[in-house]
Amino acid sequence: MFLSVFDIFKVGVGPSSSHTVGPMVAAARFLASLRDGADRIPGSGEMARLGCRLRGSLAFTGKGHATDRAVILGLAGFEPAAFDAARAAETLARITETGRIQPPGLPDLAFAPARDLVFDYGPPLPGHANGMILSAWDAAGNLYMEETYYSVGGGFVVTARELAHPPTDTGAAPVPYPFRSAAELLSHARATGKTIASLQLANERARRSEAEIDKGLARLWAVMSDCVDQGLKGEGILPGGLKVRRRARDIHARLLAERGRNLTAPHTINDWISVYAMAVNEENAAGAQVVTAPTNGAAGVIPATLRYFLDHVPGASASAMADFLLTAAAIGGLIKSNASISGAEVGCQGEVGSAAAMAAAGLAAVLGGTPAQVENAAEIALEHHLGMTCDPIAGLVQVPCIERNGMGAIKAVSAASLALRGDGQHLVSLDACIETMRQTGRDMDQRYKETSLGGLAVNVPAC
């Protein structure tokens, strides 16, 4: 089951990991299949045209999440981790004007977005709420190749075949401390005396060199931290039509002005935590580079919690960053494998709730918590997000998403602090909480799972 820290955290582009990053990745995979040619339909001529049909949540909230833009750019060869915004704008304009697309390694092909990219508002595909069908045709209109992809949250993408028949042997090296549950993770910790971060790191070392791990973790934190800094400088109105004003810069300026005052209320620290998270999610809403943590919609919780630790906790050291991210990744892997991190599948409990659990675990770890206290922190944070719906107004990752990340980070800090006041023993296990989240998501009305058909999305005017 092992999921690497580099599976859980990925450098991507806003505003959504499932609706922007995932579709771009799916388009790249489809291009690779076209180049390979193994799945070409017998009897078809040379490929001449591409198309995409978005289904389920990708259709209902795709415009607000820039899914159409992501698919087009993915088919043009763009990838999330190395996204160039200026070149992307030029490419989009050219494709829209000419109705032609030039995928790398393939011939020039017809692709008119207004005709060839369809938002299908019918029933979702059977495998997942985030479904899309990518197709290629020959000049006579015969189907050349077709593949169904599901964007299952956090930038993870699987084909319909992979979803129906998951590969049993991925060819990856076995890890020394496999775990499918928090109970197994804690059992390894008791047996070895290792921390959760050390167990995760040992597993990482089975598949990557020490230098690769160090470089990768540094890159993740650099992007996260830079996103906080850029968000604290950002001004103006966010795109999408809601006319949501960026607030992080002004709040941060006020907080800086209040520093040093003798009568500052202790709860002001919550504003610092919130503003870090809001800064990230304002950048995400603007389509900037972010780290899925574990999703774009929840991208602010973990950076905000780690920035709080580094900038506000006495004695905090930057060297703790790796332990924080490794611990968070172990918890995120459990949630991803045993429930979901997709808002379209289980609501926002799977996004901000998961991020808060991961952040609480990371913070408890770097504050010196035992593995049992770390597991308790994750459980507390997740438990108090159970049932949270995903109802973005106008399908944009702005309201309530930006503020919700601030609240998630505050809960993460509170959960870690509360867990550290105890000895790690508690009634509800993290495994039970994750299973409860899965069941709650299964039972949740579809209107509240990233379709913008219920909740705030219909009770607040989107104009």
Q: Which residues of the chain register pLDDT less than 70?
A: 1, 169-171, 462-463
Q: What is the pLDDT of residue 169?
A: 62
Buried b (16+ CB within 10 A) or exposed e, 58-79: bbbbbbbbbbbbbbbbbbbbbe
What is the pTM for the complete model shown? 0.94
Q: Which two tokens stand for residue 113?
A: 């977005």
Q: Which two tokens stand for residue 262?
A: 């003798």
